[in-house]
Structure 1
């Protein structure tokens, strides 16, 4: 166990906008429970669920106060007692191991130390630095399961990715390219269009200047996109149904646009396309072996240079609340991450 008894942590003590409700506090260092790991945080990327939990609008609602930061990269400091039955196949970790995983709330990653569930923890790829490794879990696992397990993306197919300069969208662009698909990336603004090009998108659509429906039809000779990756929802989903191909697949990943759309099943029927839901967290509950296999594949792709999380900003501890707020307001590109060792850490 670490000899330190207290640590700094960003605490949410009431619900509201992240910048208003996240406060830097000195709190006790948590102790790992059965089957858990205590880690010293190396990096924690801001995720949209962090902002939603601050607002109290996420499906997971931890008791107040809590520390957000749902995924992280860190060094194992202490290993909790064995959980007992059901731990078969769980990797063994020891102090000093560099790992990544999802935090066990209320002890999230925007702190000096956090708690991970050993069964859902993975070794961090040597090919990635701390900031990139910390962002390999949620976004890339979500995109991989959406494209490969749900949509069964095939080489040569056309993949339409919305919010392509964001955390999960940028992962989908890279994984689509790695799978041999032709990627059409939709972004909002010239700066984000430049980012999508650097990610390797074959066609980039600035939705503030062009109609992505018309671009997709033009680029596919009227056929449409075989797979649509949609983390936005609302009108974006509705417009996507206008350019999905015969026997195409629309994967509903989230509703970052703030509106949960109503699917017109009559339209899906007459156009012969599928509407697929993707809740990545269920795989950890129902098929954890598949999650470990996915991490092994992501590690292989990272070592081959085919994927690398886009970390646009590395911020010190003092700037975390502002970073989460900018993410919530749609003002960030790729991932913004807390990285230990900043000037005020």
Structure 2
């Protein structure tokens, strides 16, 4: 089969190579061989290729951590599933493996590219907003990187929960994207100070919940516009800067800092992950959420897609389609 291979760590455009004669992975106990129909590109793909992700598969490996695929053989042949492939056999290939226990039915309301993009980003946003922050209807939700993959999911899920959503983006194109997603207020951080905008929009009260996959200045600014008893959910550090929280500031302003590593729930509470998938499938059927797939590219373009996602040069999600 054709599959992208990483034989040394480095920048995606430099070390990812498309091989034409890779052996199909052999499923072990409890695993399913799937024909990849679509793979969604994620920021962690670039981190893994660089050797900077918490999961470090042995070399050589095929990157790609999220897919929609069709079971290739066995009693479940033909089922359309979504999930995280079993590394080192990642999603940027014609075939991959899924653990049967953690693979979910692809929502019928979504096509292959949309279904592939529903899993990590929407699960992350769901757990961040509901499990960790306890977002309530009527509250104000501040979403950073709101036109990106996980940020766009948070905007849609915030709206579905009845929250008022303030979206922060970088650039006019991304501002239009966030507005189309349903954000109540969009702030282009390149043109306006988001801290002042949040305070103005909330009559000085601040945001009740902050969804932060960026870190750096986004986190620091969020501490300046968080409401009394507000909750900041730290989801990632796309800016490349890990903040050092001033805990005395959290004390005197009475806000909570919450961490979210969604992947841990697959080990510690897999039933919660399955329940979240059920909720997300229902929201997709209702039309309340639909992954924003901005581009659909061929398998040959996967390395460039990873490069652009890593550089913040995309909106929504890029899906790699099997040729």
TM-score range (shorter-chain normalised) is over 0.9
Matching of residue 175 in structure 1 with residue 157 in structure 2: yes
Cα displacement string for residues 101-148 of structure 1 (whole angstroms, at most 9, x for unaligned residues): 001101011000001111110000000000000000000000000000
Name the residue aligned to 1:252. Answer: 234
User: Unaligned 5+ residue runs, structure 1?
Assistant: 1-6, 80-92
Name the residue aligned to 2:303. Answer: 321
> Number of matched residues?
322
Name the residue aligned to 2:248. Answer: 266
Matching of residue 142 in structure 1 with residue 144 in structure 2: no
Q: How many angstroms apart in 2 are the aligned matches of 1:96 and 1:19?
A: 34
Counterpart contact for 1:32–1:78, Cα < 8 Å: no
Q: How many angstroms apart in 2 are the aligned matches of 1:292 and 1:59?
A: 23
Q: How many angstroms apart in 2 are the aligned matches of 1:234 and 1:156?
A: 28
What are the residue-to-residue correspondences of 1:134-283 with 2, within 5 Å?
134-283=116-265
TM-score (norm 2): 0.99
Q: Of 23, 32, 40, which residue of structure 2 is paired with 1:45?
A: 40
Name the residue aligned to 2:23. Answer: 28
Relative to its length, the structure with more helix (as a share) is: 2
Q: How many angstroms apart in 2 are the aligned matches of 1:116 and 1:78?
A: 13
Question: How large is the RMSD of aligned CA atoms in angstroms?
Answer: 0.7
Q: How many angstroms apart in 1 are the aligned matches of 2:235 and 2:34?
A: 30
Q: How many angstroms apart in 2 are the aligned matches of 1:319 and 1:282?
A: 31
Q: How many angstroms apart in 2 are the aligned matches of 1:101 and 1:168?
A: 16
Deviation beyond 3 Å, 4+ runs, structure 1: none
TM-score (norm 1): 0.92
Q: How many angstroms apart in 1 are the aligned matches of 2:44 and 2:154?
A: 18
Report the CA distance between 1:328 and its aligned residue. Answer: 1.0
Q: How many angstroms apart in 1 are the aligned matches of 2:290 and 2:230?
A: 28
Matching of residue 120 in structure 1 with residue 114 in structure 2: no
Report the CA distance between 1:78 and its aligned residue. Answer: 3.2
SS of 1:245's equivalent in the other structure is: strand
